[in-house]
Chains A and B, each alone.
Chain A
Amino acid sequence: MTQNLLIDLHQVAKSFKATDGKSRLILDKVDFQLKEGEIVALLGKSGSGKSTLLRIMAGLIPADKGKVAYRDKAIFGPVAGVAMVFQSFALFPWLTVQQNVELGLEAQGVSADEREERADAVLELIGLAGFGGALPRELSGGMKQRVGIARALVTNPDILLMDEAFSALDVLTGETLRNDMLELWDEDKISTKGILIVSHNIEEAVVMADRIIILSSDPGTIRCEVKIDLPRPRNVESAEVRALIDEVYGLMTMRTTHEASSEVPSTKHLGYRLPDTDVSRIEAILDMVAEAPYNGRADLPQLAEEAELSDEELFPTYEALSLLGFAVLEKGDIILTPLGRKYFEAEQAQKQELFGEQLLMHVPLAAHIRRKLEVEVNGSLSEQPLLELLEEFLKADEAKRVLEVAIEWGRYGEVYEYDYHTGRLKLPEEEGEE
């Protein structure tokens, strides 16, 4: 049975050291297998450690605990049979397309003639014949990613890891490239035995994968798995695919009910990872849901299409809306609460007031800052201790981001103010002045 196991992860855990020396868990108890002949997609919101997991499988970073094996052999570094395609292409700008593609072969010491032959063959396969002498900067995004794929394929890898490989491209280009990739795979034109995709695009995952793995956050663990038996090519407009997309949307947004039941509601936590979104986007989505044709209840995939935003941008916004009590998520739908309706109808000044109230009630970090400021003699507070507090739960850059979100929301809700130059928070001036 293990004969056709390409990658085998057993109870893998990974933590990072925060600046204060404490370690924080990024991934925990991950069991995962990639078998010969399948395409697997990893989905999860930011902070679920999906990129970290991919890099562990690539041999770029070591796991702290557990077993990582490639074809039954433990791995300690990048493996010859594993190639990777990067989100930002990661092409060497000073090398020609040909030289970029030959890079992996050159490192292995393949002779110049053979390198050229193999690179030519792959370039032709991927639709880049004639571009060998071009520099990457002369190419469009889609063409660049073709080079990225060619560079990975030329080494005849067993496993292809794709790290959000299509997300830097515009929708149409991404779709074309994705379909070309699937065609190569389904018609056995490449020797690759298994593909692993990390993505935040649900539609992409449903169209490409045989299995979808959904990761939960903080720490990242495998929450559930969706098997897809539909034959490829799959039509996005077909009813089965639509239903699947809806199902995955539902699973992705289920977290509050599912996870909160097991432990203390995670939102009540001071170090809660505030979603990466801003006030204007929150209001824009709330307005969309409130207005016709949705009138308070919207299907998420449909909303995504109309908002012309990616899932990576939308999910944090949904989370913010439900966090603040303006909406609830249910089976792939978003539903406005009465409070959300009231917010929609309010005047600007009332909106901000309402926002502030909800913020204090539902975001412990904001409430904490406000309380601290009220007891401070001069009504001001340095951001440094707050950052340190957050770093007990989050990575340094993530702590910084969360505090920035808390500051933006707090400013909007007129709960507190912030001076960028001094890095200090303070109570707002008496109301009615500005």
Chain B
Amino acid sequence: MSSARNNLFVILSMFGVWQITYWAIGDLALRPPLDTIRNAWSLIGSEGFMAHLNETLQAFTFALAIAVTVGVALGFCLGMNRLAGEVGEPLLVSFYSLPKITLYPIVLLIFGIGMPSKVAFGAIHGIMPITIFTLGALRNLPPILGRTSKVLRLTRWQSVWTILFPAARPEIFTGLRLGFSLTLIGTLLGEMFASQRGIGFLLMQAIGLHDTDRIMALTFLIVGFAITASLMLLAINRHLRHGAA
């Protein structure tokens, strides 16, 4: 209950800061919160919006599925093999710190303009944090768990599935939360720079027309979606950590 109250307080504070910033800057660059909510509502009801939203959600879902599958699998492969982990981790961290946007021309050359490149670009953003967190989660597991799986006479697969994965799950899930946000960013960036459909495309179009109402409404919807999803994932993460605390 107090957590819900804290969240509400944070949201109201953000609206307050937004309103104050609007008073300070004015109509040139911002719209006030209430106007933005109204604009967002009418944008949702406008013709064609749902098709764009559907396009973005589809690309994001595929990208996230790829990021989670590849990230967790790669993290397990590197985390279970010490040598592979020691070789792979510095490469992963270097790649993680690279501005991914510099790779976008190559992604476009490989996948072309459209859904595949958006999915690929979104997945590239999500895979790294998920892999790094999965690798770290496995590496930080206490060695006693490995010895315990031996004395319980588990096979390698049983050991991974029934002991190592559940023990590493809270930290892996933290990586998934981060991967979720970065995959969303990657997908939207993909739509902004080389796409004819999707929320990112609408945003780029609004920027081109200097349509501040639309820019603010779209940003509000994207941020609203990201915060809601993040809070839900955080709640699941807390639930998972309850047992591991």
Q: Are A and B co-members of a single complex?
A: no
